[in-house]
Amino acid sequence: MSLIRFRVDEAHEEPAVTLDAFLGQSNATAVRVEPGEDARVLLPFLDRLQLIEIAFPKFRDGRGYSSARILRESGFTGELRAAGDVLLDQVVILRRCGFDALASDHVLDLAKVEEALARFPAVYQKAADAKPPVWALRHG
Amino acid sequence: MKLVTGNDLVSGDVIWWTGSGWSRFIADAVDSGTEGEAIGKREEAALRVNGPYVVEAADGPFAPVPLHIKERIRASGPTVRTDLGVQAEKQH
Amino acid sequence: MYKYDEYDQAIVDARVEEFRDQCNRRLSGEMTEDQFKPLRLMNGLYLQLHAYMLRVAVPYGTLDSRQMHMLAHIARKYDRGYGHFTTRQNLQYNWIKLDDAADILAELATVEMHAIQTSGNCIRNISADQYAGAAADEVADPRPYAELLRQWSTFHPEFLLLPRKFKIAVIGADEDRAAMKLHDIGLKLVRNAAGALGFEVYVGGGQGRTPMVAPLIREFLPADDLVSYLEACLRVYNRYGRRDNLYKARIKILVHEIGADEYRRQVEEEYLHVKTLGLDPPAAELERIAAMFALPPLDPNAPGEIERSDPDFALWLDQQVVDHKVPGHAIVTISLKPTGGIPGDASADQIDAMAKLAQVFSHDELRVTHAQNIVLPHVRKADLYAIWTRLEETGLATPNLDLVTDIIACPGLDYCALANARSIPLAQKITERFANLDRQRDLGEVKLKISGCINACGHHHAGHIGILGVDRKGEENYQLSFGGSGAEDASVGKIIGPGFSEDGVVDAVEKALETYRGIRVEGERFLDTYRRVGPEPFKAAIYEKAPA
């Protein structure tokens, strides 16, 4: 497993607990959300969560992208980590949906990840990152 | 008989296992017996074939004839454009 | 027509290089086929029966002569001299090599074209009414909104790995020429009582294994809120659409299982949240786009009379030409369905010829229709004879629009890796059986549609007459259905009875149409008669026992 982070703070040490465990015990600061779980149940706890890990058991299952955006749209500023079958060709959309850490089951080459992230000079739509959509650039 | 087939990774051409390599012509195909899956796996790992699988065929006068129509069309070319595909080429 | 600015061009150019890199990683073995497949599909590259197939996007079916010439050039240089126009208003090539794919995309990018999201579990090419901007009956041109959605959906980071593919159609007229209600989302431009422009939003239509006509989810969505609302529609689908079963993963199943009311409730709830995020482009962006779709300068005083003394021309005129909204002008449909031909196929020379006609006679514009024909949208009536003459020379003057030989057919087992039976030979036999034009015209409008498997790419569910090819113990077998429609009276056809061989189904179609001729009342189409009398008379005629 490789961990690539786009944050300056220290990586969170405490292991992420399952969503059920988290909702049952009140003191965890890291939680793991599976594809079928509703990220919105975490909204009351965002202030004290330092790490939310979104599981990608199969890269083709895109539910985690919606989970990530919902968490960012609700103001979560902690680490949002994509974990599992995370591949080079998904890093752009992961970053755009608000992920700032990648814990891949594969070996991700950091140089290639950076190359991929620098490839597209513009984006068409507003998402969870800071990139302005082309319509904002066109109309100031 | 059991033939191993798949597509060439680069050209996409339909190809058939000849016992020592791959051919675009089903006339060159050989019975792979019980080895088909193993051959496919090995050859795919070496990038010499894409998506290999085993098909059932019967002996024919000039070449093996796959039992399923889909494989017969793969072996020849579109039935509605006989000017295209392997069927349009002179074999050997 | 929409023209790229520096941003559009830069994004498409970057995509070419990204795809080149992906192809190289596959060719070097760095990526497995399992990893590569969804990536190549998201760029329209399939592995079909004989080779790779590349599907090129024609956004909302509109293109200019330069783009059309490029399609011909690619057909000659990289393929086998022809292309196939599809029911999603796209074009596909059947004989592509993997190591040519990125070069083809680079050439396409020079004329503002691409293959982005023409396959894969993402939002596909947005389709639209082929008469958009030219039709007299439309509320507004749907294409500026289709372009807005093209941009919104292109590389949308949240919606590239949906449960299944996602198709959107936009129309602006009461007459539905784009099968709008058979899409995952169908949008119809309307004006409300206050005169404001908005959309009727239909969600959960589709064909395939479980055909459904989309229910109305929103009666009036203000046009300015389109992006936010669709974002909400897609998010609910991405989160709750089924992923356990490929055949139940389309949004129609979700809407059907939870019910239209519950889906609507969830979307409205999500929409309240999404609307706060500022996702909708400003009005200035729509104005910028709409300005590029402005009607070309057409002289409303152009002469409206047409010299009809050539009977062959008159026949073509009556079948292929409708009035334009500007007097003295017309909309021409070029049939890609000659007798014995392959529906939707055009040779490189024919593609060039159509491009030339558009440049000279149609303000440089062409459209691809979902029925696999080509439209010249803005022609002067005075030029129609010259256009027809040139179409005659290139084998493109078949006068059969909406007649029984204007068949939609998927590529079927001649090309497609998913097919169970061939579609094209059947289409050829039917066009040959009904080659007599007087007979076709007497039979009137008959929409006959053929699919080679249950995926229904040939829209058989929406055919007045639908034919589905199935595999019965290794043999091709064809099921016949009646009563479908992809138009504003959308409906799903019903299977009439046991299936047939290829020749048997041609005979059955003929018996059904002869039955119709015998019992129709004045002004009824085949579909109307079928709806009035039901299946029994047709069933009796088709399955009657031959006298002993």
Q: What is the pLDDT of residues C502-543, one digit of tens each?
A: 999 999 999 999 999 999 999 999 999 999 999 999 999 999
Range of the domain at B15: 2-88
Count Cα neighbours of C80 within 13 Å in the Cβ-side half-sphere.
Answer: 19
Supply the mean pLDDT for chain C: 97
Question: Quick one: pLDDT at residue C544?
Answer: 87
Write down the CATH number for the domain with range C311-393: 3.30.70.3340
Residues of chain A contacting residue C18, judged by C-beta atoms under 8 Å apart:
116, 119-120
Check residue B90 and give its pLDDT: 67
Residue numbers in B near C33 (CB within 8 A): 44, 50-51
Q: pLDDT for C438-496, tens place per residue? A: 999 999 999 999 999 999 999 999 999 999 999 998 889 999 999 999 999 999 999 99
- The helix or strand, by DSSP H or E, that contains position C77, with its residue range, turns out to be helix C65-78
Confidence of residue A136 (pLDDT cuts 50, 70, 90): very high
Q: C408-543: same fold as C134-290?
A: yes
Assembly ipTM:
0.97
Classify residue C395 as left (phi > 0), alpha (psi -120 to 50) or beta.
Answer: left
Q: What angle do CA C440, C442, C445 make, to 5 degrees?
A: 70
Q: How confident is the model over C350-407, as pLDDT tens digits? A: 999 999 999 999 999 999 999 999 999 999 999 999 999 999 999 999 999 999 999 9
Query: pLDDT by residue (tens digit) across C93-141?
Result: 999 999 999 999 999 999 999 999 999 999 999 999 999 999 999 999 9
B83 SS3 class: coil
**Domain C134-290 architecture:** 2-Layer Sandwich (3.30)
Q: Which chains neighbour B (Cβ–Cβ under 8 Å, 3 or more pairs)? A: C
Distance CA C353, CA C69 (A): 9
From C98, C414, C424, residue closest to B12, measured CB to CB:
C98
* Per-residue confidence band for A13, with pLDDT thresholds at 50, 70 and 90: confident
Specify the number of domains making up chain B: 1
Measured between CB atoms, which of C49, C422, C474 is closest to B67?
C474
Domain count for chain A = 1
What mean pLDDT is predicted for residues A27-48? 96
Give the Cα separation of C233 and C6 in Å (integer).
30
- How far does the CA of residue C207 sit from the closest CA of chain B (Å)? 24
Domain range C6-109, CATH class: alpha beta
pLDDT greater than 90 at residue C319: yes
State what percent of residues in chain A have pLDDT above 90. 91
Reported as a single tens digit per residue, the pLDDT across C532-541 is 999 999 999 9
C408-543 topology per CATH: Sulfite Reductase Hemoprotein; domain 1 (3.30.413)
Q: How far apart are CA C503 and CA C509, in angstroms?
A: 10
CB contact under 8 A, C285 and A119: no
At B91, the pLDDT band (50, 70, 90 cuts) reads low
pLDDT digits (tens, 9 = 90+) for C128-153: 999 999 999 999 999 999 999 999 99
- Print burial letters for C303-316: b (CB count within 10 Å at least 16), e (below 16): eeeeeeeeeebebb
The DSSP bridge pattern shows strands C321-323 and C52-56 to be unpaired
CB contact under 8 A, C161 and A60: yes
Q: Give the model's pLDDT for residue C546.
A: 58
> Rounded to two decimals, what is the model's pTM?
0.96
**Residue C43: closest CA among C27, C22, C68, C66:** C22
Domain that holds residue A121: 2-138
Domain boundaries in chain C?
Answer: 6-109, 134-290, 311-393, 408-543
pLDDT for A127 equals: 98
Taking only Cα atoms into account, the Rg of chain B, rounded to an integer number of angstroms, comes to 12
A127: chain C residues, CB-CB within 8 Å: 157-158
Exposed, middle or buried: residue C382 (CB in 10 Å: 0-12, 13-18, 19+)?
middle
d(CA C123, CA C277): 21
Contact C474 B73 (CB under 8 A): no
Q: What percent of chain C has pLDDT over 90?
A: 98
CA distance A4 to A25: 29
Measured in degrees and rounded to the nearest 5, phi and psi for residue C174 equal -70, -40
pLDDT tens string C406-452: 999 999 999 999 999 999 999 999 999 999 999 999 999 999 999 99
Contacts of C537 (CB under 8 A, 6+ apart): C515, C519
**Scanning every residue of chain C, which has its alpha carbon at the shortest distance from the alpha carbon of B8?**
C51
| Chain B nearest C-alpha distance from C80 (Å) | 8
CA dist C383 and C325 (Å) reads 17
